[in-house]
Amino acid sequence: MMYYSRKKLALVILTCFIGLLLCLPNFMSAPSPKIPWRQVHLGLDLRGGSYLLMQVDVNTITKNRLQTLSDNIRQTLISKNLGYKNIHSSLPNHTITFTLRSPSEKEAVLKALREMPKAVMNEFNVSADNNNQIILTLSEEAMKQRASEAITQSIEIVRRRIDATGAVDPSITRQGDDRIVVQLPGISDPNRIKQLLGTTAKMTFHLLDETATNPDFPPPGVTFLPMADDPARKLPVRDHIEVDGAELTSASAGMDQQNGEYAVNFQFDTAGAQAFASVTRANVGKPFAIVLDNKVITAPVINTPITGGSGQITGHFTPQQATDLALLLRAGALPAPLKVMEERTIGPSLGLDAIKAGGISLAVGFALVIVFMLVFYGRFGFYADIALFANLILMTAILSLFQATLTLPGMAGMLLTLGMAVDANILINERIREEVRNGRNPLNALQAGFDRALSTIIDSNVTAFLSHVMLFIFGTGPVRGFALTITIGIVTTLFTTLCLSWMLIIRWYAVTRPKELPI
């Protein structure tokens, strides 16, 4: 232990030097893009911005799935000429139930269900009871799978929508089974984003049923939907979707040539254009409703067939509304509504104050520890101080390398690490002191002191390490950032103490060969 090869020496110094290099970009305002240097990310609490925790409405996904399946079953049974009664789905039970026309058809119905596409039938368990009822239950796994797909898809759409607003450096991540975390640095009023994300933006084109007049008793297959700009007015919209907004290829805000109002122009893909053309050709003179999230935006009368695959939506928009609607249509519809569960906004000035306060605390705390070590441990304390300085640099370097996010609690974690970092040095120094008191010569005292302190150092650090790893795994938000900095701090502390400062002590001993230790 008392011999340090030059190779080892070089390695330790090289590590510190690399650390210093990795640390440097943090002091530049904008590191050159040519060099892959990385900076520590500042958390929203330090730079200001908005944090939104959103939840995907899993119920809607299940409801939609049950709806689609009911339709499929209906069609299958009709095509096979099998009778059914009273088909209905239950959301809380995740089931679809229907009654057979006659018990004799039971086998034929079950066979027909089994022959439905695999992709559909794999999601359900089919059972029949004694009362001629067939029950289809959505399986737990299928629901999880659907929800998971919905989250992935929602994240993609949320990203597209936010990117389109020009937000700088947004971060969109998944949390748990059904949540999305959106972080928007620099945005101190998240209202517009919240509105954008709060809209499902499912756009569909429907024909109206002009024979229906009483909103309280709509005929089958017709729903009375409110107008977007006048909810009191309700139109009888046929449930059948003539054209789906998912078939749009582009949408942009513009002006209506005729009346100068703001409008949204859109363009369909080939399939959409064909569908649009055939519907408009067959229904000239009838109103055509454009429905967005169960509200009728507009229901113009079709004057001439629209064959070019492009159209226009007008609806007394403000410029902002037109821009946002175009943006939503371009980005696509969310598979299910998103609800804001948690919102945090920190103004930029508060972030700056926090950095300043944290910086001052760090500097003063650092200085106090350095002086303490010099006063109470002399030369050995000085070596500990060098290690402490290296520790600070290495911690910053590793945080930069991982591009970890530094938060306010993270800064507190760094500060505490600095306080604890000299513990290993203190343990070694105290041991050496004891060995000197026991009458050992300097060389033996150094060696025995280090060896004996080592197991204590390992024990105390491994305990701390384990509990902070736990904290990182199970913690959320600020707790995580805190645990991360401390975990990294423990690793760098072990390195700087056991390698760097101990090496300095040994080099000093090898050069001066003192008769007694300054301890």
Please identify, among the stretches 133-141, 149-157, 246-254, 353-361, the one whose residues bind other proteins according to the rule CB under 8 A. Answer: 353-361
Find the binding residues for other proteins in span 427-456 (CB under 8 A).
427, 430, 433-434, 437, 452, 455-456
Among 141, 163, 261, 343, the residue binding other proteins under the rule CB under 8 A is 343
Shortest Å, Cβ 285 to other proteins: 41
Residue 339: which of 60, 137, 7 has the closest Cα?
60
Phi-psi category of residue 140: left, alpha or beta, with phi > 0 → left and psi -120 to 50 → alpha: alpha
Q: Which two tokens stand for residue 489?
A: 């701090």
Task: Verify binding: residue 17, other proteins, rule CB under 8 A.
Answer: no
Find the binding residues for other proteins in span 366-395 (CB under 8 A).
366, 368-369, 372-382
| CA–CA gap between residue 81 and residue 73 (Å, rounded) | 12
Please identify, among the stretches 224-232, 304-312, 359-367, 499-507, the one whose residues bind other proteins according to the rule CB under 8 A. Answer: 359-367
Q: What is the largest CA-CA distance in the chain?
A: 110
| CA–CA gap between residue 113 and residue 519 (Å, rounded) | 86
Count CA within 13 A, CB hemisphere, residue 104. Answer: 0
Find the binding residues for other proteins in span 120-179 (CB under 8 A).
none
Among 189, 210, 239, 269, the residue binding other proteins under the rule CB under 8 A is 189
DSSP-based three-state secondary structure for 105: helix
- Count of residues of this chain found to bind other proteins when the rule CB under 8 A is applied: 85
Among 68, 122, 441, 476, the residue binding other proteins under the rule CB under 8 A is 476
Shortest Å, Cβ 390 to other proteins: 17
* Cα dihedral across residues 123, 201, 300, 274: positive or negative: negative
Among 205, 268, 482, 495, the residue binding other proteins under the rule CB under 8 A is 482
Q: Which is nearer to other proteins, 305 or 475 (CB)?
A: 475
Among 12, 290, 406, 486, the residue binding other proteins under the rule CB under 8 A is 486
Task: Verify binding: residue 502, other proteins, rule CB under 8 A.
Answer: no
Among 139, 152, 318, 361, the residue binding other proteins under the rule CB under 8 A is 361
Residue 82: which of 137, 138, 136, 132 has the closest Cα?
132
Q: How many CB atoms lie within 10 A of CB 499?
A: 20
Shortest Å, Cβ 99 to other proteins: 36
Q: Which is nearer to other proteins, 101 or 433 (CB)?
A: 433
Q: Which is nearer to other proteins, 246 or 416 (CB)?
A: 416
CB 309 within 8 A of CB 273: yes
The Cα-based distances of 103 to 58, 70, 97, 106 in angstroms read: 36, 21, 15, 5
Q: Which is nearer to other proteins, 50 or 62 (CB)?
A: 50
| CA–CA gap between residue 372 and residue 381 (Å, rounded) | 8
| CA–CA gap between residue 339 and residue 46 (Å, rounded) | 26
The Cα-based distances of 89 to 38, 61, 122, 200, 357 in angstroms read: 54, 14, 18, 23, 58
Q: Which is nearer to other proteins, 122 or 441 (CB)?
A: 441
Task: Verify binding: residue 207, other proteins, rule CB under 8 A.
Answer: no
Please identify, among the stretches 86-94, 189-197, 231-239, 294-302, the one whose residues bind other proteins according to the rule CB under 8 A. Answer: 189-197
Q: Which is nearer to other proteins, 82 or 150 (CB)?
A: 150
Task: Verify binding: residue 18, other proteins, rule CB under 8 A.
Answer: no
Binding mask 24-43 for other proteins (x = CB under 8 A): --------------------
| CA–CA gap between residue 467 and residue 449 (Å, rounded) | 28
